[in-house]
Structure 1
């Protein structure tokens, strides 16, 4: 059996005012029934921005732009023998009136906007850890 190797994910803070888009995960892997940001695996040859735009379109139908790098986290899921390096970016809706659709219902129960100061529980632990450490995904006004 091959040794497990780290995977790279791109995770997107789509911000609207002081709200972020979150969905409740449906997963046989990690984070089942936890609220999480949209995102997915980086494909060979993709930039972080290309991955973010593709994953958001595939999962929510939304078009995003102004994609900016925010931070990186190193996430070990020891019980599941998984290791993810997560590249976090911030993005904005190209059309502020566009509504998210749940295009992958086997992976997510649905998408909604949540106020950063009143996030739903339970959060997916990498996001929960960022919140507890005081991370702020919003641009400085």
Structure 2
């Protein structure tokens, strides 16, 4: 028969094991991708799990999208829409989108519907995200976005679907030219799209939409879980 002390010892061991696994994952994730993946192979439970994010698609009266330049995180220097992580326990994706937009831009929006989901693997950073794209509308169409988190965003601006596609194409051309010369690509500086946005544009092309706006229009009527 086991004693209460035996039970306590077992629980303590489980707690310590969980703490060690969490710390190991955090430490490994801080290293370059080749080191992180090598360690993950040696310690399977230390392999980082995919995280879930939400990105808000907000258009103005001209049909332009609200985007900003990222700072201080993976994808720094790239352009992305407002968004962020789902906090533990948040049950409604729509509320997550509305919260993130308010925190980052100061804009009050209403989340209308889910557009699609992208599977975003950041190979160089050894990060993996599942991004849910949610269409939002501003409660006040005349409101102006603000830099509510100046350490995370360089600027906010309205860009047309065409401008975003051209930015993505120009970045690909620059990278190809650098690769042909055997040179490393320049760090993005507000002239390159964040990977989830790149993948979103790819989805619109795969859907044979002429641009992102028409892709959104083509999905009207589709119903997703909130």
* TM-score for the superposition, normalised by structure 2: 0.58
Matched, 1:139 2:209: no
Shift of 1:104: 0.6
Aligned to 2:72: 27
Give the structure with the larger helix fraction: 2
Aligned to 1:111: 156
Aligned to 2:193: 123
Secondary structure of 1:139 counterpart:
helix
Root-mean-square deviation (Å): 1.8
* TM-score for the superposition, normalised by structure 1: 0.90
1:98 to 122, 138, 143: 143
Which ranges of 4 or more aligned residues in structure 1 deviate by more than 6 Å? none
- Deviation sequence 1:74-129 (CA, Å, 0-9, x none): 11112211110101111110000110000011111011111111225311122123
User: Which one has a bigger Cα radius of gyration?
Assistant: 2
Greater RCO, 1 or 2 (C-alpha within 8 Å, sep 6+): 1
Aligned to 2:11: none
Alignment partners' CA distance in 2, 1:56 and 1:77: 23
The gaps in structure 2 that reach 5 residues or longer are 1-23, 25-45, 168-190, 206-211, 221-226
Aligned to 2:93: 48
Matched, 1:72 2:117: yes
Shift of 1:132: 4.0
Matched, 1:62 2:140: no
Alignment partners' CA distance in 2, 1:40 and 1:67: 17
Shift of 1:66: 4.3
Secondary structure of 1:50 counterpart:
helix
Alignment partners' CA distance in 1, 2:64 and 2:94: 21
Work out the number of aligned pairs and report it.
Answer: 140
Alignment partners' CA distance in 2, 1:128 and 1:81: 18
